[in-house]
Amino acid sequence: MGTFYDRHTDVYDRALGGNIHVGYWDDEADESSMREATDRLTDLVAERLAPSEGQHLLDVGCGHGSTAARIIAHHAVKIIGISVSDYQVNLANSRPQPPDLPGEATFRLADAMENPFPDDTFDGAYAIESLMHMKDKAAALGHIARVLRPGGRLVIAEHGLEGELNGLDAARMADAYAYFKFSLSTDRYGELLREAGLRLVDHTDITRNVERCYDSMIRGWRDAARKGDGEAAGDWETAADLGEWFFCKVPQLRYGLLTAVRP
Ligand SMILES: C[S@@+](CC[C@H](N)C(=O)[O-])C[C@H]1O[C@@H](n2cnc3c(N)ncnc32)[C@H](O)[C@@H]1O
């Protein structure tokens, strides 16, 4: 997984306007740019976390630090971000942090399924499009629950599959999972969170608000295929072919914002 993002981060970043997650548009009439829309998704996560001054937050699967950078520009919090990509952690730690920002952020290489932090370390945590990559979601969520203080919130922004796929689509989905290193489980998040000792307090389906970004992402991959060479070009063609089906034609694919609390 780390190698995947070592190699693919820059292309995702370009296609998604400087962030590595989907954008949020209010409606058809919303003319926000990709950057504005992807920043708005970060703002929606931060709103749900509602952090108070001085709080410590864990960014689970922090990408190249753009999300934490936006949160500390608006909130006086301390963020620690973890990623399994060396390349991303280096980018995140070298991102300039002007001294007059209200908050601060640091980043380190760590696997969320073996979360290295002591119990009760954080007042809040967020995971934007990172749990989809984790094979053992129960372990990752169990650790998040463990490192959260009582009353701490977890906000998840995530793709998921709702409902069954037919046999042909299920086989195709296996290819998409292998390529994107996904395993999606919207249906089961309530259960997984409960088993981890967290209480789901809100689940908002925002599929309609985010789907506009997929065309741009796929165009970005085709572009990378044209510019790339050898293996990388083939990789991006595969991503675009799979993505055109997976992101645009599978009605069971949903995107949700979930808020949970450690009692
Ligand atoms: C789609 S990117 C999202 C990045 C970031 N959350 C954002 O919104 O910009 C997925 C991220 O999950 C991270 N990730 C995947 N599996 C992980 C794991 N087991 N532990 C920690 N991070 C992981 C990747 O390294 C990458 O940073």
Nearest CA to ligand 1 atom 10: 130
Q: Is the pLDDT of residue 155 over 70?
A: yes
Q: Is the pLDDT of residue 241 over 80?
A: yes
Query: Where residue 230 falls among pLDDT bands split at 50, 70, 90?
Result: low
Please list every protein residue whose CB sits less than 6 Å from any atom of ligand 1: 1, 5, 19-21, 61-63, 66-67, 82-85, 88, 111-113, 128-130, 133-134
Kindly report, residue by residue over 98-139, the tens digit of the pLDDT. Answer: 889 999 999 999 999 999 999 999 999 999 999 999 999 999
- Measured from the CA of 21, which atom of ligand 1 is nearest? 8
Spacing, Cα 156 to ligand 1 middle (Å):
12
Stretch 220-230: mean pLDDT? 82
Q: CA-to-CA distance for 97 and 116, rounded, in angstroms?
A: 25
- Measured from the CA of 59, which atom of ligand 1 is nearest? 6
Query: Where residue 224 falls among pLDDT bands split at 50, 70, 90?
Result: confident
In sequence order, what are the residues at sequence separation of 6 or more whose Cβ sits closer than 8 angstroms to the Cβ of residue 160?
Answer: 132, 184, 185, 186, 187, 189, 253, 254, 255, 256
Spacing, Cα 76 to ligand 1 middle (Å):
23
Structural domain boundaries in the chain = 2-261
- Measured from the CA of 111, which atom of ligand 1 is nearest? 20
Spacing, Cα 29 to ligand 1 middle (Å):
31
- Measured from the CA of 12, which atom of ligand 1 is nearest? 1
Nearest CA to ligand 1 atom 27: 63
Residue range 2-261, CATH number: 3.40.50.150
Stretch 159-187: mean pLDDT? 86
103 φ/ψ sector (left φ>0, alpha ψ -120 to 50, else beta): beta
Give me the pLDDT at residue 34, please.
96
Query: Where residue 233 falls among pLDDT bands split at 50, 70, 90?
Result: confident
Give me the pLDDT at residue 231, please.
61
Kindly report, residue by residue over 204-214, the tens digit of the pLDDT. Answer: 999 999 999 99
Give me the pLDDT at residue 30, please.
97
- Residue 203 has a CB neighbour count (10 Å cut-off) of 16
Give me the pLDDT at residue 32, please.
97
Q: Which of 69-78, 88-97, 166-175, 191-200 has the lowest mean pLDDT?
A: 166-175
Q: CA-to-CA distance for 192 and 188, rounded, in angstroms?
A: 6
Query: Where residue 184 falls among pLDDT bands split at 50, 70, 90?
Result: confident
Q: Which of 82-91, 109-118, 121-130, 227-236 has the lowest mean pLDDT?
A: 227-236
Give me the pLDDT at residue 143, please.
98
**Strand, coil or helix: 227:** helix
168 touches 232 (CB < 8 A): no
Query: ∠ at Cα 202 (196, 206), nearest 5°?
Result: 115
- Residue 26 has a CB neighbour count (10 Å cut-off) of 10
Nearest CA to ligand 1 atom 5: 63
Give me the pLDDT at residue 235, please.
82
201 touches 260 (CB < 8 A): yes
Spacing, Cα 61 to ligand 1 middle (Å):
3
Spacing, Cα 104 to ligand 1 middle (Å):
20
- Measured from the CA of 20, which atom of ligand 1 is nearest? 9
Out of 8, 22, 59, 83, give the residue to mutate to test ligand 1, the one with the largest number of ligand atoms within 8 Å of its CB. Answer: 83
